[in-house]
Amino acid sequence: MAWVGVLSLQGGFAAHARALGEIGLAAREVRDARELEEAGGLVLPGGESTAQLRLIERHGLAEGLEAFVASGRPVLATCAGLILAARQVGQGGGSAVRPGAGSERERRPSQRSFGWLDVEVERNAYGRQLDSFEARSDEGLPLVFIRAPRITSVGSGASVLARWRGEPVLVRGGAVTGAAFHPELTPDRRVHRLAFAAIAESVTARPARSTGGSASAASGDVPGQDPGAGAVHRVHASERSQLHRSGA
């Protein structure tokens, strides 16, 4: 049965595994290339993107991750994960905000990214280092921001699924969904459902072979939308309506 891997090198992976379980998807922590090969979908969790980048290199996972994304299997990249997935990690201006506060450049350091999602982001761009806050997206989605990246530009390869104060906070490009916030820390499961709808569909399309039964709960969660496995590339319009429908 298809299961979703949660990259578990650093950061908030456990809450994602729980969130996936809540929508009836099997989840496993993933730390090596073999596990990655077997996963049907992948979560890149929040945490500290510089540390995650180092650990990806140390574990020799970069190639496996590239292959995973190239295969078209669904990916949900949240916060630090979004920073890793972005086409570009930009820098703020060079000036100090106030004496002793450190320059924008120090607070919003640029770094290497993989370019799986056609967006540019700026790190720690919603306030001071420790800032975290809750809000609602313009569409009503609950948002938890923790030293969040700001999506400063969205290229033609991605589309915006949700905004906060007019700025993009949830985007999608191909099978990759990116959130600047932490959907796993709210009770609302729409983002996880949306990101992995193709898996839920492919599992429920073969009920006779589904032995674990953990996908059954997902069958009623994405009603009326039947993109089937791999069809996530063409469901932007229906995604928006799913996401904005009231109720988690």
DSSP, collapsed to helix, strand or coil, labels residue 78 as strand
Q: Is 236 one of the annotated active-site residues of the chain?
A: no
* Under rule CB under 6 A, residue 49 binds ligand GLN: yes
Q: What is the Cα–Cα distance from 229 to 147, expressed in whole angstroms?
A: 34
Q: Catalytic residue among 122, 182, 192, 239, which?
A: 182
Q: What are phi and psi of 20, to 5 degrees?
A: -65, -40
Residue 57: both structure tokens together: 């290199």
Assess 124 for contact with ligand GLN (CB under 6 A).
Answer: yes
Residue 140's SS3 state is coil
Q: Given candidates 76, 79, 161, 232, which one binds ligand GLN under the rule CB under 6 A? A: 79
**Of the candidate residues 9, 26, 42, 80, the single one contacting ligand GLN (CB under 6 A):** 80
**Per-residue x/- mask for ligand GLN, residues 130 to 159, rule CB under 6 A?**
----------------xx------------
Reading the block at residue 65, the tokens are 């991750």
Any contact of residue 8 with ligand GLN (CB under 6 A)? no
The answer to whether residue 119 forms part of the interface with ligand GLN (CB under 6 A) is no
Residue with tokens 């370019």: 115
- Measured at the CA of 30, the angle between CA 184 and CA 242, to 5 degrees, comes to 35
Rg of the Cα atoms in the chain? 17
Residue 74 lies near ligand GLN (rule: CB under 6 A): no
- Give the interface with ligand GLN as residue ranges (CB under 6 A): 46-49, 79-80, 83, 123-124, 146-147
- Catalytic site positions: 79, 182, 184
